[in-house]
Amino acid sequence: MRQYELMVILDPELEERAVSPLIDGFLKVVRDGGGNVEKVDTWGRRRLAYEINKKSEGIYSVVDLKAQPDVVKELDRQLNLNESVLRTKVLRPDTH
């Protein structure tokens, strides 16, 4: 099991209260794969430094989790398939 940090930028047109169930839905893969979601920190709407898909805002969310590498790979794949996800980044903070 490895420590991961995941950041997602979600579509700003999503409703505020629809955000956490959506993220929770994504994280189901981690829970089913024996991983552990440690912290979900939703920053809320934030201005992007440049436009992504013609959108100048995004809903940022940072998730700390512990999981097997292939589970995280699958999570990232599913995130990228979803239309309301603008961008994702997965990092391993302990490699620094």
Partner 1 sequence: MAKPPARKPKKKVCVFCKEKISYVDYKDTTLLRKFISDRGKIRARRVTGNCTQHQRDVATAVKNSREMALLPYTSTAR
The smaller minimum CB distance to partner 1, of residues 24 and 43, is found at 43
Nearest distance, CB of residue 43 and partner 1, angstroms? 9
CA gap 13, 26 in Å, rounded: 18
How does DSSP assign 40-64, residue by residue? EEEEEEEEEEEEETTEEEEEEEEEE
- Residues of this chain, 3-32, that bind partner 1 according to CB under 8 A: 7, 9
Q: Which of 39, 49, 81, 83 binds partner 1 (CB under 8 A)?
A: 49
Contact between 93 and partner 1 per CB under 8 A: yes
CA gap 2, 67 in Å, rounded: 5
Contact between 45 and partner 1 per CB under 8 A: no
- Residues of this chain, 55-84, that bind partner 1 according to CB under 8 A: 58, 60, 62
Characterize 62-72 residue by residue with b for buried, 16 or more Cβ atoms within 10 angstroms of its Cβ, and e for exposed: ebebbbeeebb
Q: Which residues make up the interface to partner 1 (CB under 8 A)?
A: 7, 9, 48-50, 52, 58, 60, 62, 87, 89, 91, 93, 96
